[in-house]
Amino acid sequence: MRYLLCLFLFINLHAFGQTKITGIVTDEKDHAVAYANVYLENIYDGSATNESGEFHFTTKATGKVQLVISYVGFENYSKSLTLEGKPIQLDIKLESNSSELEAVEITAGSFEVSDKKQSVVLKPLDVVQTPGAQADIYAALQSLPGAQQVGNESGLFVRGGTASETKTIIDGMLVNKPFFSDVPDIPQRGRFSPFLFSGVAFSTGGYSAEYGQALSSVLILDSEKLPETPSTNIGIMPLLGANITHNRTIGNLAVSGGLRYNNLKPYFSINKQRVDWDKAPEALGSSLVMQKKGKSGSMAKLFVNYDQSEIKLSYDGVDGDESFYNKNKNLYASASVVFPIGNDWALYSGLSFNYNDDDMGTAVDVFPATERMVMGKLTAERELFNNMNLKFGGEIQHQNDEFQFNQYFTSIKGNYESLFAESNIHFGKKLALRAGARLENNQIIQKSNLAPRLSMAYKTGRKTQVSLAYGKFYQQPESDFLRKQSSLNFENASHYIANFQWMEENSYTFRSEFYYKEYDNLVLGDPYSSAFNYETMSFDYYNGGNGYAKGIDLFWRDEKTIRNSDYWISYSYIDSKRLFRDFPTKATPNFIAEHTLNVVYRYTIPVISSRVSARYAFATGRPYDNPSSEAFMDSKTPNYHNLSADFSYLTSLGGHFTVCVFSINNILNTDNIFGYDYATDGTTRRPKQAAGLRSIFFGVFISMEHTKKSN
């Protein structure tokens, strides 16, 4: 389903015309800046400056656009232009940022998916144009090293961790349910469009003391600044649905509201599925984003997203016919304020609410669940000296979850509180140190912990550096255990990371990272067992598990060698074993592939304002347990293969900028197997496979900019 649901793209681009743009780029000393990148933001038109700093190109775009100029050693330059078909001549001076570029940055365990950071790996448009991802942030991140190709479960699996070990943060606040509700053996996509965010910081380990309750990884999303020009964006996806969004500015208040509707029944009638959809996925959603600037430089944000969906399906199970239904309602809302106090302090305060209601069951059982979480957070940051800053704060989360299985009711209710402090220190331009700690207390399990974090980086050359990171990370046991037994302890993991990076901005990026993770206090027991021990008055769950994950991640990106092309290659090797959940002995879990490879290639065709992209994903077989085998988890599935391609075309429809997107996932129709379900007697088995094989998507996205300004 992740590859079938529609793209929630709200692309704020502009209409086509015919304008010639020329100019010259110089530095602060009036010296020519040669080979700088000059382009229109979110549009493929642009060029590079010559030896004299001159540039020229022609664009079909009309209306308001953003011209961007970037070059190593200088601040990015941005200028708003209005294209009306008349030639534009520009004289541009770039400001040096050589001191920043030469300064060391800690990169161990962190991928920056942002156009504002020095260590850029992907940009928001890259997420959309990653073949096979179909505008899903989490699917796009699977093209980066450290993430596993898991095709039958929802979530982001990072470096040997389960999906529950990766947390999503929006504007500093935790998102409890970032994915659409689970369906048996059918992975779900994330709820949020990448264009809602200005940057995506993907940490594969060793992350900041500001964040907790994630044993493996955090995904940190910062909401995008809303455009000042009023606009309406329409997305039409034949056979899938439609969406509309409207932005407007009222004084210093920017507001964006959107509606979306999806129904996959027409699509499934053409693209046949392995399951019988008694009720094909149907969803109605809305969003509201508000941003207000203060006179003192403060910024207030409101982010609200609501979805309701319904599905019902039946399929051939290994022990007979099986069915599943779910009616889901989900609300995520957060409000935050960032404001300076004097010239030294910056304060942040946030409040969020998570609500998720699943009315679900099968033909014989009902197991609805309602989950609520309220979170409050306050942080303060101050620059102590020129090369040292201090950040500290705290948060509180109140969890109130209710679960039902037929006539039995259980619940989880209580507070989680934490305090943290962290300092970044630069010893000149070559050495940086980040040290911090996090103190946590959990009322549900009545346990506390102290988690130290330490990272450092040393710049070995103008383009190279090494980084090291260590951290202790804690997480409360999963809800499947806590709703039956709360007398448990924190699960924990220790991270050890060594990173080498070589980067030439807008040209080449190479990263190699070695890591070792040691797990302890993992919960043992079958979370779905109904066997109750009346002597101990518990389900006999206990923190007796442990494990490890070690490996190497490699990443290479080349944006320069092949004209109009950009490609990256990522490779991951992992060796991991665990004793956890209902494992009788330590073994490699079924969501881990020893070797994973991704190759992504994108080619831009400026003449027809188009881009063609392809992605090949490979992973070795994953372990599974065969009841007829004497050893546990010693069998492996066939290797995973997936070849996908995207084609995007920029044109004009009714005088408005239009993007046409056509994508094919699993071009070769490869029937990948992710594991097997065995019958109760162990004599027969059913492979775990995708609900559909090859999938095709076509969408038309129109952006209509309004010239009248709001009063």
- The 10s digit of each residue's pLDDT in 146-161 is 888 888 888 899 999 9
Burial state string for 338-355 with b = 16 or more CB within 10 A and e = fewer than 16: beeeeeeebbbbbebbbb
pLDDT digits (tens, 9 = 90+) for 542-582: 999 999 999 999 999 998 899 889 899 999 999 999 999 99
What percentage of the chain exceeds 70 in pLDDT? 90
User: What pLDDT is stored for residue 530 in this prediction?
Assistant: 65
Report the topology of domain 16-97. Answer: Immunoglobulin-like (2.60.40)
pLDDT digits (tens, 9 = 90+) for 350-383: 999 999 999 999 989 999 999 999 999 999 999 8
Torsion of CA 390, 391, 392, 398, to 10 degrees: -170
Whether residue 650 has pLDDT greater than 60: yes
Whether residue 207 has pLDDT greater than 80: yes
Alpha helix positions (H), 79-182 = 98-102, 124-128, 137-141
Whether residue 216 has pLDDT greater than 90: yes
User: What pLDDT is stored for residue 4 in this prediction?
Assistant: 37
Distance CA 415, CA 376 (A): 11
DSSP secondary structure string for all residues of 467-484? EEEEEEEEEPPPHHHHTT
User: What pLDDT is stored for residue 9 in this prediction?
Assistant: 36
Whether residue 660 has pLDDT greater than 50: yes
Nearest alpha carbon to residue 129 among 671, 663, 643: 663
Distance CA 486, CA 468 (A): 36
User: What pLDDT is stored for residue 73 in this prediction?
Assistant: 64
Average pLDDT over residues 420-441: 92
Contact partners, residue 257, CB within 8 Å, separation at least 6: 245, 246, 286, 287, 288, 289
User: What pLDDT is stored for residue 673 in this prediction?
Assistant: 93
Distance CA 395, CA 210 (A): 10
pLDDT digits (tens, 9 = 90+) for 18-62: 788 999 999 887 888 877 878 887 776 778 787 778 888 888 787
pLDDT band for position 125 (cuts 50, 70, 90): low
What is the dotted CATH code of the domain comprising 110-705?
2.40.170.20
Write down the domain spans for the chain.
16-97, 110-705
Report, in angstroms and rounded to the nearest whole number, the Rg of the chain calculated over CA atoms: 26
pLDDT digits (tens, 9 = 90+) for 269-288: 888 888 899 999 999 999 99
Name the more confident of 188 and 590. Answer: 590
Q: Which amino acid is at 257?
A: G
Distance CA 693, CA 667 (A): 9
pLDDT digits (tens, 9 = 90+) for 63-102: 788 888 887 667 788 888 888 888 999 999 988 764 444 5
